[in-house]
Amino acid sequence: MKRPTAASAGTVAGASRSDPMSFLVIEATIIVVMVNSAELVRFYDEAYSKAPGESALYARWRALGARGKADHVIALCQSAGRRPSSTLEVGCGDGALLCELHRRTFGGRLCGLEITQAAVAIARQRSELDSVELYDGTHVPHPDHAFELGILSHVLEHVPDPAGLLREVARTCDAVLVEVPLEANVSARRPAKRGRAAEVGHVQRLDRPAVHGIVKRAGLTIACELDDPLPAEVHRFFASSGPARAVADAKWALRSAVHRVAPGLARRAFTVHYACLCLPAA
């Protein structure tokens, strides 16, 4: 994981106009699949209502992802000198990230909002969480400044108006942690990858400048940011044989090496996860 860096107005940390691979720059794209809240609810009701064996597999997958997401939340909050006493995750799914934060005694009072009743029912079974509520995907049912930290982790790529949702979360949270996959890259443009993005409900394909634009339109500024090519365990998770695991390990080794020595090139070549801590603009 790349260490958090401060973001300057009008710049993207880690990027350079003199990058010799600048010909690979890909503009952020909106996938032409417009959705509304009812469609999102149907999609995620199905996602959280799978057969028991499949549900258990994806629960383990979400728990694995939650460890990396928690790393990002804690690293960025520490970089900004913040230790929140109350946290609201909007789009909390089954509550895996909030539970991981609880395990690390970080975040204080932990609350979640979710668009689908199926996920709310699962998350409410977790005793670590203080509350989990159903919401309409647009309006946060809490007063202004009710929480010290808001989290939108792998949510903005799923919604048709990411700036509007971020603005609404910032109304009720003093700081907002945003995490998204950066999918405006060479690898993600392949038909198989495009199909996979649509399959998991991604209606936005973003790069860092696009995220910066969303943050600005929401009336916020970025205090610090990081990106991460993800650990070997994530790449290996769905590998079911020795040869498949060897391929996954080789893929991770190559990507982590490229990201370490040339992060700008890595972002243009393949998907990394990007996180930033957003504060009200001065």
Kindly report the CATH number assigned to the domain that includes residue 238. Answer: 3.40.50.150
How many alpha carbons lie under 13 Å from residue 254 in its C-beta half-sphere? Answer: 10
Whole-angstrom CA distances from 43 to 104, 158, 202 are: 31, 11, 11
At 3 the pLDDT is 67
The answer as to whether 7 is a domain residue is no
> CA nearest 64: which of 232, 274, 183?
232
Q: Is residue 19 part of a domain?
A: no
In a domain, 1, yes or no: no
Span 2-21, average pLDDT = 44
Q: Residue 224 — φ and ψ, nearest 5°?
A: -160, 160
Q: Note whether residue 248 is domain-resident.
A: yes
Q: Count how many domains the chain has.
A: 1
Within a domain: 17: no
Q: Compute the distance between CA of residue 179 and CA of residue 69 in angstroms, rounded to an integer.
A: 8
Domain that holds residue 255: 24-280
Q: 16-47: b or e for each residue (b if 16 or more CB lie within 10 Å)?
A: eeeeeeeeeebebeeeeeeeeeeebbeebeeb
pLDDT in tens, 116-144: 999 999 999 999 999 999 999 999 999 99
Query: Which of 51-60, 196-205, 252-261 has the least mean pLDDT?
Result: 196-205
Q: Which has the higher per-residue pLDDT, 184 or 188? A: 184
* In-domain check, residue 11: no
- Residue 87: burial class (beta carbons within 10 Å; 0-12, 13-18, 19+): buried
Mean of the per-residue pLDDT values for the chain? 84
pLDDT digits (tens, 9 = 90+) for 48-69: 776 666 778 888 999 999 999 9
The rounded distance, in Å, linking the Cα atoms of 40 and 10 is 33
| 220 in a structural domain | yes
d(CA 257, CA 249): 12
In a domain, 5, yes or no: no
